Amino acid sequence: MADDLSAVANFLYEAGTLKNARRTGWWMAGVNNPESVAEHSWRTALIASVIAKLEGADPARAAFLAVWHDTQETRTGDVNHLGKKYSTAADPVAVTADQTAGMPPLLATALQDLVAEYEAKGTPESVCARDADKLECMLQGIEYKAQGHTSAQRWIDNSRSRLTTETAQRLADELLSQDPLTWLRAAMAEQP
């Protein structure tokens, strides 16, 4: 008999709430309608695959880690760094265990192990995924700053300073040297 997938279905609905969960730190930079946790996680996964490939790690594994890195926020919300100063952060591994309760054991164990790997920072893929998280925040900050949110510079600087891989550091330097619409001008063969 096939495993009961009702807990999986429940989680898929739960995960959908991340499309509406805003990244709260950006409010302090004056961004009224900041990106959602889901938007952040999507681009983080792309970045993780790029960093991992260039670092000689497994890009699919790094992207997989990145996709799951903030899924606990369906239950905890997005607590920004200031908020974490005043509250005890929930353990992502424990939250994931609750989220996966009732799922087929093979799946629940795999997801719990994945989040534990990300949190432990012990594999090349987890290091790449964590750098991708910081690089995505920096990139979003650059975009918000270009939209007039000058206070985003704090997030740009903080994120840049926390990168550990050579690839992420080099990519950060390249992103900082470009305008967010450089890609569009290039695609349209426009002169700068």
Q: Is the pLDDT reported for residue 68 higher than 50?
A: yes
177 within some domain: yes
Contact 156, 135 (CB under 8 A): no
Q: Please name the amino acid found at residue 83.
A: G
Burial (CB count within 10 angstroms: exposed 0-12, middle 13-18, buried 19+), residue 2? exposed
Domain membership flag for residue 1 = no
| Amino acid letter for position 110 | A
Q: How many whole angstroms separate alpha carbon 126 and alpha carbon 61? A: 8
Cα 96 from Cα 98, distance rounded (Å):
5
Instruction: Let me know if residue 83 belongs to a domain.
Output: yes
Rg (CA), the chain: 18
Q: How confident is the model at residue 87 (pLDDT cuts 50, 70, 90)?
A: confident
DSSP classification of residue 2: P
Give the CATH number, domain containing residue 102.
Answer: 1.10.3210.10
**Domain assignment present for 47:** yes
Q: Given the structure tokens 């009224």, which residue do they identify?
A: 32
User: Does position 192 have pLDDT exceeding 80, yes or no?
Assistant: no
Taking the C-alpha atoms of residue 105 and residue 2, their distance in angstroms, rounded to an integer, is 12
For residue 140, the enclosing domain spans: 6-187
Residue 68: closest CA among 23, 20, 100: 100
In a domain, 133, yes or no: yes
Concatenating the DSSP letter of every residue in 118-158 gives HHHT-SHHHHHHHHHHHHHHHHHHHHHHHTT-GGGHHHHHH
* Mean pLDDT computed over every residue of the chain: 93
Tell me whether residue 192 is in a domain.
no
The answer to whether 65 and 116 are in contact (CB under 8 A) is no
pLDDT exceeds 50 at position 90: yes
The domain tally of the chain equals 1
The reported pLDDT for the residue numbered 2 is 59
pLDDT surpassing 50 at residue 1: no
145 assigned to some structural domain: yes
Per-residue model confidence (pLDDT) at position 28: 87
The reported pTM is 0.92
